[in-house]
Amino acid sequence: MNPYVPFCGVPPGPAELLGRWTFDPVLLAGLAVALAGVLLSTRGAARRHPVLGWALVALLFVSPICAASMALFSARVAQHLLLTLVAAPLLAPLLRSRAPAPIAAATLFAALFWLWHVPGPYALTLQSDLAYWAMHLSLLGAATLLWAGLRTRVQTAPFGSVLALAATASQMTLLSVLLIVSDGLWHPWHALTTAPFGITAMADQALAGAFMWVAGGLIFAVLVAGLVLRMLGPHALSRPPMTPR
C-alpha cells in the first residue's frame, strides 16, 4: 500500500518551494464553480471585493504557500490568517442576507479556530484530504459568517458587534501566546520538516504564534477601523469639524 501523501504534497525544501504549485483538477474545478457563483450573485461595483476574496483563496491553495504549509507551521498559520482575516471579509458581502448575530458567529469561529490548531485535529489534516478540506472550508465559512454579521449589524447592534470583536481578538491572542510560551512541541509532524529552512520546530511554533499575535493583530486593527467607520455611517469622513462657540 502506498503511503498517504498530503493534499499539498510532501514537505518541500527551500530549493524546490517556488516550483511547488498545486494544479489538482478537483481543486481547480471547485475554484471555477466558486468563481461562477460569485459572478452570478454579484453585479457592478459589488462584485469587486468578492472577486478579490476568491482570487486570494485561489492563491492560498494553488501557489507555493500550500506546499510551504506542509513544512512550516508558521506558513500554515499565515495561510489561515490570510484566509480568515483577509479573504473572508472580502467574501462577506455574499452572505449579507444570511448574516447571523455577531456573537453567535464569533463563538462558532472561535470554536473552529481552536479545534483546528490543537494537536489531534491538526494532525488529522495531514493524514486525510477530507480532514484537510474540512479544516479550511469550515474556517473560511465561519470567518465569512462572522464578518458578514459584523458588517450587517454593526450599526443596528453595536454592543453585540463590539463584544464579538473583542472575543475574537482575545481568543486569537490567547492562542498565539500559548504557542509562543509553550515548552513542548504541539505538532510532531513538523519536527522533521523545518530543518531544511534553518529553523527548529520549536522556533517555527513560536514564529507561528508571533504571526498570529502581531500580523493578525495589525490586520484585525484595520478591519476594526473599517467597521467603526461603517458604524458611524457613510458620511463619517466628510462631516465638518465642530467649531467652538
pLDDT digits (tens, 9 = 90+) for 134-146: 999 999 999 999 9
Task: Determine, yes or no, domain membership for 5.
Answer: no
Average confidence (pLDDT) over 98-118: 94
- Expressed as residue numbers, the domain containing 151 is 73-232
Task: Determine, yes or no, domain membership for 31.
Answer: no
Q: Which residue has better confidence, 70 or 233?
A: 70
The set of cell numbers assigned to 141 is: 465559512
Task: Determine, yes or no, domain membership for 24.
Answer: no
Q: What is the 3-state secondary structure (H, E, C) of the chain?
A: CCCCCCCCCCCCCHHHHCCCCCCCHHHHHHHHHHHHHHHHHCCHHHHHHHHHHHHHHHHHHHCHHHHHHHHCHHHHHHHHHHHHHHHHHHHHHHHHHHCCCHHHHHHHHHHHHHHCCCHHHHHHHCCCHHHHHHHHHHHHHHHHHHHHHHHHHCCCCHHHHHHHHHHHHHHHHHHHHHHHHCCCCCCHHHHHCCHHHCCCHHHHHHHHHHHHHHHHHHHHHHHHHHHHHHHHCCCCCCCCCCCCC
Task: Determine, yes or no, domain membership for 50.
Answer: no
CA distance linking residue 109 with residue 43, whole number of Å: 29
Task: Determine, yes or no, domain membership for 189.
Answer: yes
Would you say the pTM of this structure is higher than 0.85?
yes
Task: Determine, yes or no, domain membership for 21.
Answer: no
Task: Determine, yes or no, domain membership for 128.
Answer: yes
Total tally of structural domains belonging to the chain? 1
Task: Determine, yes or no, domain membership for 227.
Answer: yes
pLDDT digits (tens, 9 = 90+) for 13-47: 999 999 999 999 999 999 999 999 999 998 988 89
Q: Is pLDDT of 129 > 80?
A: yes
